[in-house]
Every structure is written in C-alpha cells, then in structure tokens.
Structure 1
C-alpha cells in the first residue's frame, strides 16, 4: 500500500505563501493506482493550487464530497469545467438538500451546494448516492455513512438547517460520509467536517471494521467544542493510541492548542500544501 495525501486548499496558508488558502477543504489522495479528490473547497481555487503543486486532476477516478456545505463542494462546478476525464462522484444520500445556517432569529443564510442534480445529469457524471453503512471503492478503500451517535458530549449544532418546502428543520447531517484507507498499521481516516462528532465517527468505523485507527486527517469540528467535549475527545484519541493526527479546517484555535499540547509531534496542523505519505 502506497498512500499520499496532498492538501490542495485549507483555511491556513502554506509556509511560503505560494498557494491560495480559503475557508474550506480539498484533499488529493493517491492510493496505489487509485486517484481520489476529497472535497473541492468553496471557490475552485484548489485547481490553481493543484497546478502549482503539479497535481494532475485529469486522472481522477473518484470525487468524494463529504457533505453538502459550500466550503466542501463549492469548487465542484469549476472542477467539471476545467478537467477532461470522467470520474465517479460519490456523495451521501441527502447531499443535495437545501442547507442553511441560522444567523439570528428567523434569519437564515444559504449554506449549501452551488449545483444541483440537473447539473450532474447535464454533465453525464456517474453518481453514487451512499445510503448503506459501508461502500467499498476497493478492498482497502471504504466510504462510511450512517454513523452511530453514542457519545453524550457530541451534540448537533442547532445553527444548521435543511429547508423543506417553506419549513426549516435541524440538519442531522445524514448525508455526511467519511473515507477510510487500510494500511498495515490500521486505518487512515479522512474527515470532511465531522458534524456528527469526530468520536462518533471513529467509534463507528472501528466497530464496523474491527481495526484500529492509525491516522486521522481533515476537519474535526472542535471549533464549537466546550471544555467537556474537548477533554473527552482528547481522552478517546489517547486511549486508542492514534499515532498521526493531521486535523485542520474546522478544528478551531483552542482545539489546535490543546491537541498540540497533548500530542506533541503526533499532531501537525494540516494546512494548505501539506503532504502526508504512508507506505
């Protein structure tokens, strides 16, 4: 197994300010001969970064969009407009729901995708809507959905809604999907935003596979965590001996400080341009 993960765009800049950064996430993943784009940031600027990093997006086998928020799917239309190949799109069931964020009482801002099913069909994009618990891309590459919500400290953010007809209902993020890759040490887990809770996600994956987590990459949504949640998340990560932590995006400044303090060299902020290689 040869695995390389290149962060094409993320909230924070690269060390030399060579690349564009933005609030969002996009990862280019090479697993042996499989090439996956995981999320597309919010603007499409990840494409410019890919060129600078000499990443060829014309050879994609799969595009996986972790959930239907603009900062993870906003660059998808520009991707379709700028590449030549035919990839398979993988999204969670309910990904195309109209998503909103509550700003103040009775005031909502659209927070969802910049495209719809019509765009997908017009561009003849083969699409898999995940509704099963696990979906195998290959024997070693698995997409997970329908996460068990077993923790008492990870609660849904009541600022996120889905609009159905004229009603706004709490978004339970049933569309959220996560990628896991088997390596000899265990599982490398790729997160989008972890809206359902990073511990809920990791516990579910461990239960379904019977495998340990070796590395975690992506957004943990600890930005909204209180001290109790942060303490229990760190406790879980320690108890399960997770060797490599490359969290970023929605982890938040406090979460980053605590992770750096508790895990030392095991934790590196996965900013724009960062590369992770596991063989």
Structure 2
C-alpha cells in the first residue's frame, strides 16, 4: 500500500505545498485508488496536481465523517470534473455512513456538514451509504460505524445534527476509518477518530480478525485533552508496540508530546508518502 497525505494542517518543509485545517489522503493498493476525505477546500486538488496524483481515475471516495474539514472539498472535486470533462474518467464509488451527508451545525455556523447533498453526489458517484464494514479492495476495508467500548473515550457531542426533522446533539455516529491488512499486521487509518482512536483500533481488529497492529495514522481528535483521556490513550497505543504513530490534523501539540513520551510519533504534513 502507498499512502499520500494530500492535505494536513501542516506542510512539510521544502514541499511548497498547501496546508489547511483539514485532511485528505490518497491510498493505492491492490490496483485500486481510494481518496480518503477531501479537506475543506480545493487545496487537496492543488497539491494533487503538484504531486502528479491522478484524481480522474479513482475507484473509491471514502468519507471518515460529515464535517466540513473532511467533506467540503467534494464540491471542488465536482467543479473540477465539470470544468475538465474527460471521456475516460472513472465513475468512482463513494462510501460513507448513512448519517454523514446530513445537515450539521456548530457554534453558530449554519452548515457544519457536507455542502453537497446525497442526490447531487449520486449524479457523479455510485453511492454506498452504510453503517456496516465494506472491503474496498482485497486488503483495505472501511470499518463502518465504530463500536465505542473503552471507558476513557466517552462520547462527546460536537454541535448538532438534523435527525428526523429536528436538531439533536451530535455524538457523530457517522465517524469511521479504514484499515489495511498487510502481511505483518494492520495499518489503521483514521480521519478524526471522534469515536476514539483506541475504539477505532479495536474496531479494525474485530472487522479484520487481525490482532497485530503495525501503524496508526490520521487525526485522533485529541485537542485540549485531559490526563484522564490522554494517559490511557498513550498507554493503549504504547502496548501495541507500533512501528510508527503518524498523528496529525486534530491532534494538538500537547497531545503529540504526551503520546511521544511512550510511542514512536512521526512527523506528518501535506505531501508525505508512506509505504506499507
């Protein structure tokens, strides 16, 4: 598997690529190409052009959840498709939780979720909206709705979501992730891990039947996290004996420092390429 960070909150020194408070990755494995999230703007497209990453022949677009910093780039991708018609362009599948594309609001922002509605996306992509795990390739699986089993990663509502015609506190049931099964163990790929990064790893183990975890990467949603959350998270991840922990996006500096005391934390930024 080859994975490229198209967008992260940081850009690597010397790359001259864009960064924004969002996340997008391109994953290539088993002859398939999967775009995981699309960031907040067209920055992931600009970086893809600089990196020579083909956005015209995708097999899947996978959304980790419905928040703006992971889905608003979808509208820019559709605009790119409209402005540059190509007869050989692949019609990709788009996989997300059934609640990922609904209306969300947060701190007075009228729309905190996807700007492109389900019916519009269906004009461009083959939609698969499901809470169940789905294998996207022979070795890469979308984990479905994350079961919340740890006692230290308690659900924390973030804004509100529209449910049956009314807004309710949003505990983000649409949060999901990917897992890659290599010959030597799992690579767990999170978007924001609102369900908890440890819960996400446990879900990956259940879905794949593989207990050995090589690497964990992506956003961990550890911002202003208190010791009662950070300490057991670091202990859990340290016990996995990872090759690397590539925490980024919604993982703040204090969390990275805390995790680095026990885990092999690696640098992340727009343009980084990893191979497993």
The answer to whether the superposition gives a TM-score over 0.5 is yes
Question: Cα gap change, 1:50/1:131 in structure 2, threshold over 3 Å: closer, same or farther?
Answer: same
Cα drift, residue 160 of structure 1: 2.3
2:209 match: 210
Does the Cα contact within 8 Å between 2:97 and 2:145 map onto a contact in 1? Answer: no
**Structure 2 residue runs without a partner (length 5+):** 82-88
**46, 62, 73: which one pairs with 2:60?**
62
1:198 match: 197
Where do 1:235-250 residues align within 5 Å? 235-250=235-250
- The Cα offsets for residues 150-188 of structure 1, whole Å up to 9 and x where unpaired, read as 112112223321134664312122212211111011111
- The Cα offsets for residues 126-170 of structure 1, whole Å up to 9 and x where unpaired, read as 1101222x2112331111122221112112223321134664312
Cα drift, residue 80 of structure 1: 2.2
Cα drift, residue 109 of structure 1: 4.4
Aligned length: 268
2:262 match: 262
Q: Structure 1: how far apart are the matches of 2:10 and 2:275?
A: 20
Cα drift, residue 93 of structure 1: 1.5
2:121 match: 120
1:52 match: 50
Q: Structure 2: how far apart are the matches of 1:27 and 1:93?
A: 21
- The Cα offsets for residues 11-65 of structure 1, whole Å up to 9 and x where unpaired, read as 1122125011100000011113111110000001110101111111112111111
Q: Structure 2: how far apart are the matches of 1:146 and 1:29?
A: 21
Q: Structure 2: how far apart are the matches of 1:207 and 1:56?
A: 33
Q: What is the aligned-residue RMSD (CA, Å)?
A: 1.7
Where do 1:160-179 residues align within 5 Å? 160-164=159-163, 167-179=166-178
Q: Structure 1: how far apart are the matches of 2:197 and 2:206?
A: 14
Residue 87, structure 1, aligned to residue 65, structure 2: no
Higher strand share: 1
Cα drift, residue 81 of structure 1: 2.5
